[in-house]
């Protein structure tokens, strides 16, 4: 398709630590179309956030370094953009919302000051006009009395309200891509759905693509068009939300699904868990990175790293040597063949 | 906030009460009678008798203490020279009250108000100093140097000059040092700075002071013939005859070494603290937000990071005033600086208890006052703080 | 990883192989402390200092003016030239007297070594006093909120409100002259150590109280309480071990402060009185002659003092890094 907004190609972001090199993102490639809602799922440490920070250009050398790869955003190679050009993209064309709204706003400035700062930076408007826009964006995220609340400090807002402010700040400049890094993890269950609904509706209004990072499969199922599953710094499976939900091809995705409570399941089933712990990204196992935890591993899995390749379903890719032969739909969680 | 300040003031008064009783008892038990020295002379019996009655030294201890205390809190003289003082006083009070009670919603107003109040009070004291003759009844020095109030406030100017210079030096050098170290964390500059401030932090003031004296005054002159710095007193003999520029140079050459001696440990302390505070802010989530908004690095560092990292420093600096006073005591006695510190050491050696008591109390009051100032400043600068 | 095993065994093997070895807090503490280069050097320095100060009396002439041929002269002995009987006044450093002699002909090396005794006595005694009093008061205040807390913390407020150096000077100058005090409390370093102990415990008490306030609400304390532990057991077995890190770090800082204040008091003449050698007192005497060109006594005594305080502070820094349980091993 021609309306590809973001294309990430073979991104590798490494961190130097005392214990060795952490290969946080190790060969990730994907594309996002305009208006697409993409979900990124994976355990902590799977490289989801580092991917997002790499796109934003917020990896700080010398500790963190993007070793290879290309990030193409609407024809701009973000990795080679000069810093002042990159600043126009960052916050203006790509906005990001972070996990913890309690600590993501500067405590010593009012909400208004922080919103107006962003607006003045990216739009050619006066301070008073920026204040109007700021009030409007607070109204958009359904904060009551937006005009007067502009003069309040972050500590005068609840967690959910602060995340609304963050969303307002992110969307105030009508970005083309909104990266939301676990935006609801720190919130009450009751407000999670509200906030997500609001955020995605606003993004739809503006035609903004969304990259939604989460470890919550339910969120992805409910809100995303497409999903990519990440494990130990790489993408193991990618496809439409329904494909991955109803026809997972990778044992890890299958395991994740099995560990989730589902209200739509036809009958009661036992909750499963993916056994073992995620590998340390310093000493990645040879071959398939999921192999030590995999119920279906063969010798070939020990030898070669499987690459993300097409499956029998159009647009559904998977990185597993046994993807073609395994039919995980038929495997119940209790009777895994060994 | 008001109730909080009142509560802090009450605790402060209790502290001062304990302090005065403690020092008073100590001087009584350990110091012996201040008239002991006179006793060596047999012809002095009558004089001793008179002085004993005059100072109430024959009274029971607790009566002596309350005699001292009632004198300490009572006004000895309060003469207003001319009606203009009253007008000035009235307008200052009015302006201050106006500043305190106005409700302005704008965010710049809080710091501006604090600054305004401080400025008005400072100018008030400046004004009052020239137009009002005021003294408390702090007794007379046993050494016959006159009223204690006049002694202490005669020396206070010198200590003030030294202390303010040292504090300014510490702020001007220490804070930027810490900020740059944090921004360039793990760089060569940072490592040298960290090691340097560690060493400076571990070096007692008296070693810095004598070291500077020996190296920058004595050996510098011996090896190069240059006499850059003076090591005794505030001004040289014949200061009054010098031209204006030469006077300033003379003040600098006297002030530089003692001020630097006091400042060095504070420079190291502020740099260490500012580095830590800045690093914490640099790793904070809201700084990541600021960066993700596309703000220029300078704006991120100055507007978002520094503004937050300076908050805890306010407390540290106001509390360091006690340290600077302590440093002044040592430095003044090394550099023969005619300030409160040297007066204090002299009074201790002579067991001149009215002077000892007065200076200890002045310093104690200064510390109580600075503690409260620190709290108020913090409340003004940090919107999250609300004192119940 | 194992080669011959098959099936489940193998995969479990492999799964364990990739997860990190279990690391105890003690292991972490040791690696971190060992990695802190300055702390390592500081520890060696302090150990040497202790050894030297401890051994010194055995290699020193017992009486002044008695030439016994031991390694060190008595610190009060005035040395004379064996040929003409003149006092060896202000001799610069030489091979026989590596630190030279002072203004009345005493061996500076011997005096520096014996001067360390006062600093170490004050540092350790004050540290011990502060750790004990501060911990007990802080623990009581933090564990029993309400009246106990209020009373104790008001006392702490008063202690912390005292201007440290002026009060220490009055104390140091006048306490030894109070007639009713027992003799050991009036002499030398001990009186300073006790005075500083009284003046310095407030800060630690506040730290311990804050630790206790937060720890007493933790689940493991709840669990211990539910299991029927009494207050004493909870305080000493459950909370105190978890509060040890800040106590140790704060105590180290107090030791450094105490050494500095003792030296400052002795420098001003209100601490340990001459002829007992102290680094502060020697610095004062050395400073008087240093402005005449005789620099060695000042340099020797002040270097010893700075090096010791620096070592103590480096130890504190290393311990802080090593003891912080929330800190993982991070990039350097």
Residues B173 and B237 in one domain: yes
From the list B288, B294, B382, the residue facing A92 with the nearest CB is B294
Confidence of residue C44 (pLDDT cuts 50, 70, 90): very high
Residues B197 and B340 in one domain: yes
Residues B332 and B290 in one domain: yes
CA C173 to chain centre: 23
Q: Is C329's pLDDT higher than 50? A: no
Written as six digits, the tokens of C311 are 């070592």
Residues B99 and B227 in one domain: no
Interchain proximity A18–C329, CB inside 8 Å: yes
Helical H segments across C269-290, by residue range: 279-290
Q: What is the pLDDT of residues B11-32, one digit of tens each?
A: 888 889 888 988 888 887 776 6
Report yes or no: C162 and B361 within 8 Å, Cβ to Cβ.
no
Q: Is A115's pLDDT higher than 90? A: yes
Confidence of residue B190 (pLDDT cuts 50, 70, 90): very high
Q: Is A2's pLDDT higher than 80? A: no
Beta strands in C142-297 (DSSP E): none
The pLDDT value recorded for residue A1 is: 44
Domain presence at residue C217: yes
The pLDDT value recorded for residue A60 is: 81
Mean pLDDT of chain B: 83
Q: Is C66's pLDDT higher than 70? A: no
Residues B271 and B174 in one domain: yes
Residues B304 and B356 in one domain: yes
| Top-confidence residue, B148 or A297 | B148
List the beta bridge partners of residue B133: B79
CA atoms of C207 and C250, how far apart (whole Å): 8
Residues B219 and B348 in one domain: yes
Written as six digits, the tokens of B250 are 């003379």
CA atoms of A136 and A95, how far apart (whole Å): 18
Domain presence at residue B269: yes
Domain presence at residue B388: no
Interchain proximity A276–C15, CB inside 8 Å: yes
CA atoms of A70 and A54, how far apart (whole Å): 10
Query: Is residue C267 less than 8 Å (CB to CB) from chain B?
Result: yes
Q: What is the pLDDT of residues C130-186, one digit of tens each?
A: 999 999 999 999 998 889 998 998 889 888 888 889 989 988 888 877 777 777 666
The pLDDT value recorded for residue B358 is: 92
The pLDDT value recorded for residue C10 is: 40
Written as six digits, the tokens of C225 are 């309480």
Report yes or no: C130 and C251 within 8 Å, Cβ to Cβ.
yes
List the beta bridge partners of residue A96: A179
Percent of chain A having pLDDT more than 90?
Answer: 31
Count of residues making up chain A: 338
Which chain B residues touch C179 with a CB distance below 8 Å? 29
Closest-CA residue of C relative to B215 is C291
Percent of chain C having pLDDT more than 70?
Answer: 86
The pLDDT value recorded for residue C146 is: 86
Q: Is C18's pLDDT higher than 50? A: no
Q: What is the pLDDT of residues C193-207, one digit of tens each?
A: 988 999 999 999 999
Domain presence at residue C34: no
Q: Smallest Cα–Cα separation from C321: which of C45, C35, C24?
A: C35
> How much is the average pLDDT of B208-224?
89
Confidence of residue C33 (pLDDT cuts 50, 70, 90): confident
Domains in chain B, number: 2
Q: What is the pLDDT of residues A192-241, one digit of tens each?
A: 888 888 998 999 888 899 999 988 887 888 888 999 999 888 898 999 88
Query: Is residue C314 less than 8 Å (CB to CB) from chain B?
Result: yes
Domains in chain C, number: 1
CB atoms within 10 A of CB B216: 17
Residues B200 and B93 in one domain: no
Query: Is residue A113 less than 8 Å (CB to CB) from chain B?
Result: yes
| Top-confidence residue, C73 or A169 | A169
- Spell out the domains of chain A, with CATH numbers in brackets: 4-224 (3.40.50.300), 229-335 (no CATH)
The pLDDT value recorded for residue B264 is: 94
Place of tokens 């919603």: B105
Which chain B residues touch C332 with a CB distance below 8 Å? 186
Here the ipTM equals: 0.86
Q: Is A280's pLDDT higher than 60? A: yes
Residue B234: CATH number of its domain: 1.10.3720.10
CB atoms within 10 A of CB B290: 25
Minimal CA separation from A99 to chain B, in Å:
9
Q: Is B72's pLDDT higher than 70? A: yes
Written as six digits, the tokens of C296 are 């060695």
Q: Is B187's pLDDT higher than 50? A: yes
How many angstroms separate the Cα of B306 from the Cα of each of B113, B188, C99, C141?
21, 22, 48, 36
Domain with C178, as residue range(s), is 121-276
> Which of the residue ranges A162-171, B68-77, C174-183 has the most confident prediction, judged by mean pLDDT?
A162-171
Domain with B203, as residue range(s), is 144-381
CA atoms of C63 and C55, how far apart (whole Å): 17
Beta strands in A215-267 (DSSP E): 226-231, 234-240
Place of tokens 């190679």: A77
Q: Is A273's pLDDT higher than 80? A: no
Q: Is A139's pLDDT higher than 90? A: yes
Which chain C residues touch B218 with a CB distance below 8 Å? 290-291, 293
Domain presence at residue B11: no
Interchain proximity B294–A155, CB inside 8 Å: no
The pLDDT value recorded for residue A163 is: 92
Q: What is the pLDDT of residues A282-335, one digit of tens each?
A: 777 778 888 888 878 788 888 888 888 888 778 888 888 877 777 766 555 444
Query: Is residue B336 less than 8 Å (CB to CB) from chain C?
Result: no
| DSSP tally for chain B: helices H, then strands E | 16, 2
Closest-CA residue of A relative to B378 is A108
Residues B220 and B276 in one domain: yes
Domain presence at residue C134: yes
Confidence of residue A337 (pLDDT cuts 50, 70, 90): very low
Residue C188: CATH number of its domain: 1.10.3720.10
How many angstroms separate the Cα of B334 from the Cα of each of B342, B348, B352, C273?
9, 16, 21, 19
The pLDDT value recorded for residue C124 is: 93
Query: Is residue C180 less than 8 Å (CB to CB) from chain A?
Result: no
From the list B19, B351, B356, the residue facing C162 with the nearest CB is B19
Residues B234 and B155 in one domain: yes
Which residues in chain C (202-261) have CB-CB distances under 8 A to chain B? 256, 260
The pLDDT value recorded for residue B2 is: 74
Residues B227 and B183 in one domain: yes
Confidence of residue A93 (pLDDT cuts 50, 70, 90): very high
Residues B255 and B117 in one domain: no
Q: What is the pLDDT of residues A72-88, one digit of tens each?
A: 998 889 998 898 899 98
Q: Is B119's pLDDT higher than 80? A: no
């Amino acid at each position: 398709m021609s309306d590809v907004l973001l294309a990430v190609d073979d991104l590798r972001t490494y961190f130097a630590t005392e214990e060795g090199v952490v290969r946080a993102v190790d060969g990730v490639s994907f594309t996002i179309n305009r208006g697409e809602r993409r979900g990124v799922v994976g355990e902590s440490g799977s490289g989801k956030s580092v991917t997002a920070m790499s796109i934003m250009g917020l990896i700080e050398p010398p500790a963190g370094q993007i070793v290879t790869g290309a990030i193409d955003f609407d024809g701009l190679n973000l990795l080679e953009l000069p810093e002042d050009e990159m600043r126009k993209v960052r916050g203006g064309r790509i906005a990001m919302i972070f996990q913890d709204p309690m600590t993501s706003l500067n405590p010593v400035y009012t909400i208004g000051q922080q919103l107006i700062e962003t607006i003045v930076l990216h739009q050619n408007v006066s301070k008073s006009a920026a204040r109007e826009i700021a009030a409007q964006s607070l109204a958009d995220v359904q904060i009551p009395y937006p005009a007067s609340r502009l003069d309040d400090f972050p500590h005068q807002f609840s967690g959910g309200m602060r995340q609304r402010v963050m969303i307002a700040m992110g969307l105030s400049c009508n970005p083309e891509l909104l990266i939301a890094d676990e935006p609801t993890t720190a919130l009450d269950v009751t407000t999670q759905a509200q906030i997500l609904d609001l955020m995605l509706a606003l993004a739809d209004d503006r035609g903004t693509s969304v990259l939604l990072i989460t470890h919550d499969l339910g969120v992805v199922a409910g809100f995303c068009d497409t999903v990519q599953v990440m494990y130990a710094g790489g993408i193991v499976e990618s496809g439409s939300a329904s494909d991955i939900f109803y026809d997972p091809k990778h044992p890890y995705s299958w395991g994740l699904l099995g560990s989730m409570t589902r209200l739509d399941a036809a009958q009661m089933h036992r909750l499963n868990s993916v056994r073992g712990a995620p590998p340390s990204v310093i000493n990645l196992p040879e071959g398939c990175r999921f192999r030590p935890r995999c119920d279906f591993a063969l010798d070939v899995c020990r030898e070669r790293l499987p690459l993300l390749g097409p499956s029998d379903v159009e647009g559904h890719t998977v990185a597993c040597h046994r993807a073609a032969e395994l039919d995980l739909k038929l495997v119940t969680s209790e009777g895994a063949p060994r | 906030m008001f109730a909080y300040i009142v509560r802090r003031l009450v605790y402060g008064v209790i502290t001062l009460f304990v302090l005065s009783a403690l020092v008073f008892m100590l001087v009584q038990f350990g110091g012996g009678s201040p008239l002991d020295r006179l006793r060596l002379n047999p012809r002095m019996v009558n004089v001793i008798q008179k002085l004993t009655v005059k100072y109430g030294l024959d009274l029971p201890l607790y009566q002596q203490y309350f005699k001292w205390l009632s004198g300490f809190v009572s006004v000895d003289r309060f003469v207003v020279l001319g009606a203009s003082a009253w007008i000035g006083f009235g307008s200052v009070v009015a302006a201050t009250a106006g500043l305190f009670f106005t409700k302005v919603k704008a965010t710049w107003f809080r710091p501006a108000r604090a600054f305004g109040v401080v400025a008005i009070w400072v100018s008030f004291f400046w004004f009052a100093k020239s137009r009002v003759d005021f003294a408390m009844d702090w007794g007379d020095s046993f050494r016959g140097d006159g009223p204690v109030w006049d002694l202490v406030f005669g020396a206070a100017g010198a200590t003030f000059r030294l202390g303010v210079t040292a504090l300014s030096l510490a702020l001007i050098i220490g804070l930027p040092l810490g900020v740059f170290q944090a921004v360039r964390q793990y760089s060569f500059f940072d490592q040298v700075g960290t090691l340097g401030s560690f060493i400076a932090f571990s070096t007692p003031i008296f070693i810095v002071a004598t070291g500077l004296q020996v190296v920058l005054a004595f050996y510098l002159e011996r090896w190069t013939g240059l006499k850059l710095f003076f090591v005794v007193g505030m001004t040289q003999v014949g200061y009054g005859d010098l031209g204006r520029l030469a006077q300033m140079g003379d003040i600098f050459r006297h002030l530089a070494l003692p001020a630097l001696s006091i400042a060095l440990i504070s420079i190291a302390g502020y740099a260490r603290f500012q580095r830590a505070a800045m690093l914490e802010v640099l790793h904070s989530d809201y700084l990541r937000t600021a960066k993700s908004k596309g703000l220029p690095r300078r704006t991120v560092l100055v507007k978002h990071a520094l503004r937050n990292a300076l908050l805890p420093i306010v407390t540290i600096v106001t509390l360091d005033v006690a340290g600077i006073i302590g440093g002044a005591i040592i430095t003044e006695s090394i550099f023969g600086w005619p300030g409160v510190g040297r007066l204090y050491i002299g009074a201790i050696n002579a067991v001149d208890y009215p002077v000892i008591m007065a200076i200890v109390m002045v310093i104690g009051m200064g510390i109580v006052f600075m503690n409260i100032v620190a709290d108020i400043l913090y409340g003004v600068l940090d919107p999250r703080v609300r004192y119940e | 990883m194992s080669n011959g095993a098959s099936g489940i065994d193998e995969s479990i093997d492999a799964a364990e192989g990739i997860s990190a070895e279990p690391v105890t807090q003690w292991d972490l503490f040791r690696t971190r402390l060992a990695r802190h280069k300055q702390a390592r050097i500081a520890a060696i320095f302090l150990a040497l200092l202790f050894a030297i100060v401890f051994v010194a009396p055995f290699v020193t002439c017992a009486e002044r003016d008695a030439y016994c041929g031991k390694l060190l002269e008595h610190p009060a002995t005035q040395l004379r030239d064996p040929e003409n009987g003149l006092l060896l006044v202000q001799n610069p450093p030489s091979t026989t007297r590596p630190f030279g002699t002072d203004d009345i002909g005493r061996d500076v090396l011997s005096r520096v070594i014996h001067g360390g005794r006062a600093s170490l006595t004050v540092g350790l005694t004050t540290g011990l006093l502060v750790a004990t009093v501060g911990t007990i008061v802080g623990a009581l205040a933090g564990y029993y909120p309400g009246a106990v807390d209020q009373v104790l913390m008001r006392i702490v407020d008063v202690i912390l409100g005292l201007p440290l150096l002026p009060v220490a000077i009055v104390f140091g100058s006048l306490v030894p002259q109070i007639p009713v005090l027992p003799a050991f409390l009036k002499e030398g370093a001990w009186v300073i150590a006790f005075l500083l102990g009284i003046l310095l415990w407030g800060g630690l008490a506040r730290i311990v109280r804050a630790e206790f306030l937060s720890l007493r609400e933790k689940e493991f304390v709840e669990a211990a309480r539910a299991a029927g532990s009494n207050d004493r057991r909870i305080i000493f077995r459950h909370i105190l071990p978890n509060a040890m890190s800040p106590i140790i770090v704060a105590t180290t800082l107090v030791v450094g402060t105490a050494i500095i204040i003792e030296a400052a008091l002795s420098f001003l003449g209100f601490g340990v009185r001459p002829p007992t050698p102290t680094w502060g007192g020697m610095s004062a005497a050395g400073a008087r002659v240093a402005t005449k060109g005789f620099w060695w006594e000042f340099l020797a005594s002040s270097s010893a003092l700075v090096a010791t305080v620096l070592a103590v502070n480096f130890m504190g820094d290393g311990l802080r890094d090593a003891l912080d349980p929330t800190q993982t091993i991070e990039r350097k």
